[in-house]
């Protein structure tokens, strides 16, 4: 699942406290986070044809690779819950 060394999976949860712009690059930002909690096991960004984030799936069903460039993405509560449930399911499968 790796793409040029990246983890195409969810491996932690955190809260974004604030976002500041990069003083040298207008299109870059810094996210300051707290309550970082790493998962026991990574959750793949998709399970077969199901994507945890709607924005990661193109209209034709393929993967929207452009979205992976964004290190921090805003997701809905429903999407967040499915990722957490995937983490629980992955841990139960290890049983």
Percent of the chain predicted with pLDDT > 90: 22
> CA quadruple 28, 69, 45, 90: dihedral positive or negative?
negative
Would you state the pLDDT for residue 95? 45
Residue with tokens 């870059």: 28
Q: Is 4 within a domain?
A: no
Q: Is 38 within a domain?
A: yes
Backbone φ and ψ of 37, nearest 5°: -135, 110
Count of structural domains, the chain: 1
Q: Are 53 and 70 in contact (CB under 8 A)?
A: no
What does the longest C-alpha to C-alpha distance in the chain come to?
49
Range 43-68 average pLDDT = 82
Q: Is 89 within a domain?
A: yes
Q: Show Cβ contacts of residue 94 under 8 Å, excluding neighbours closer than 6 positions.
A: 41
Higher pLDDT, 47 or 22: 22
pLDDT tens per residue across span 65-75: 888 777 677 88
Range of the domain at 41: 11-94
92: confidence class by pLDDT, cuts 50, 70, 90? very low
């Amino acid at each position: 699942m790796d793409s040029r060394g990246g983890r195409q999976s969810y491996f932690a949860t955190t809260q974004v406290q604030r976002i500041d712009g990069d003083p040298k690059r207008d299109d870059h930002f810094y996210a300051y986070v707290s309550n970082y909690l790493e998962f026991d096991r990574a959750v793949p960004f998709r399970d077969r044809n199901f994507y945890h984030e709607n924005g990661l799936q193109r209209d034709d069903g393929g993967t929207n690779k452009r979205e992976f460039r964004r290190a921090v993405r805003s997701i809905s509560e429903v999407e967040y819950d499915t990722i957490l449930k995937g983490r629980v399911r992955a841990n139960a499968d290890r049983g």
